[in-house]
Amino acid sequence: MSHHLEFYINGQWVKPQGTQTLDVINPATEDAIATIALGNAADVDLAVAAARKAFESYSQTTREERIALLERILDVFKKRMGEVAEAITAEMGAPDKLSQMAQAPSGVGHFAAALHALKNFEFEEQIGTTQVVKEPIGVCGLITPWNWPMNQLTCKVAPALATGCTMVLKPSEVAPLSALLLAEILDEAGVPPGVFNLVNGDGPTVGAAMSAHPDIDMMSFTGSTGAGRQVMINSAGTIKRVALELGGKSANILLDDVNFEKMVAHAVLTCMNNTGQSCNAPTRLLVPANRMDDVAAIASAVITKVKAGDPKAPDTVNGPVVSKAQWLKIQDLIQKGIDEGATLLAGGTGLPDGLSKGYYVKPTIFTHVTNEMTIAREEIFGPVLSIIAYEDEDDAVRIANDTVYGLSGYVSSADLERARKVARRIRTGMVHLNGAALDNNAPFGGYKQSGIGREWGHHGFEDFLEIKSIFGYHPKQA
């Protein structure tokens, strides 16, 4: 078992101010695989002081200097990609293939997107005699989750570095190993001391201290809507900017002209990806009422291909969920679906057949779900798909929008123009048409209780920048 009992502050690994520690649990085996130190408010003070001091010089670096830094980070990251993938599989249970092909490479994707955006970003513009300047906001507090650990780390760290900010990171204490590797990568790449700082800890202690800290200028948080609400409350006393990427209950609308064999299969597999632990997962599948039985038959066949088991086995599709607490929450929600009258098509409560250890969930599908049921309202964050019938296109849009969330949506039709029109009616920050993939250069974020602000690409720079108007900067024209 490895021990990570130091924090990365001011370019060095330093001992914590307190003595509290936490075991990191491998969810596939339920064994402790590492120990981390848990920080406190005093650790946050030290990290913030380092970031504040470093901001004086780092905020004045040129675009060219920051481009060179991001290029060095990319070079080092690519060399250590295998280590990152191994850490992610161990800390949160992602299957090896997913860690190697998506989880770890997401870090390269976000640094590359930030590099591309930095090369072309307009930091200044002239309006009449006024020069409008976009400047780094200052010291940023970053709090990241466990479900796509490297993805969420780098889509915050990369734009912060690109825009000239300094930062203090609190990664998830449940899955901190990949974040510690990122600190090593940034150090090797030559990120100046104090620009990036890492303090491990829990939300109520380290997260709260960061949010309330008078010398942190903005908070960027990804996680549950409830925790995001607390970040806003804690940040209110210092009127700091808050950027939030929160939960979702995304609808996947299959219009009546689609190839159902193809798109139902795509819907099931997309929902099950990362064992359902994605905030933008299409967890509500909306289908024409007169095709419910057909859809059920297709989904029933497809779900048999979703094998839950050892993340290191080559045929595994679903690894475990991240923790016992998550497993128990998902079990309760599956039981609620049964109790409230949804039809259990596949899966259900308990461990999958043949598994007696690990936080594994049966890949589960409910049909004949109504949008008033708990499983259609609450974010389950596990491999659970709810299939809901609609009467016509307007009804599908109504059901899709009938949620407190607004992160993502999915619309499929044989007629692309029809799909486009429906997409424009969906109240979400993102919509995928006919199975289109995400784009690292396009904005990621949501409406309503799914968050505030946008991440990824050049849109992801905006929350890290302040806008200054310098009046009379240009002489008046004669």
Closest CA to 58 of 192, 155, 154, 219: 192
| Coil, helix or strand at residue 342 | coil
Q: Is 341 helix (H, G, I), strand (E, B) or coil?
A: coil
Any bridge partners for residue 349, and if so which?
Answer: none
Whole-number Å distance between alpha carbons of 411 and 456: 22
Catalytic residue among 245, 379, 455, 462: 245
Question: Is 245 one of the annotated active-site residues of the chain?
Answer: yes
* Neighbouring residues of 161: CB distance < 8 A, sequence distance ≥ 6: 66, 69, 70, 73, 114, 191, 195, 196
Distances from the Cα of 340 to the Cαs of 85, 164, 298, 333, 336, in angstroms? 40, 52, 24, 10, 6
CB 383 within 8 A of CB 361: yes
Q: Which of 356, 184, 354, 380 is nearest to 365 (CA)?
A: 380
Cα separation, 156 vs 69, whole angstroms: 16
Cβ neighbourhood burial of 79 (10 Å; 0-12, 13-18, 19+):
exposed
Residues identified as active-site: 245
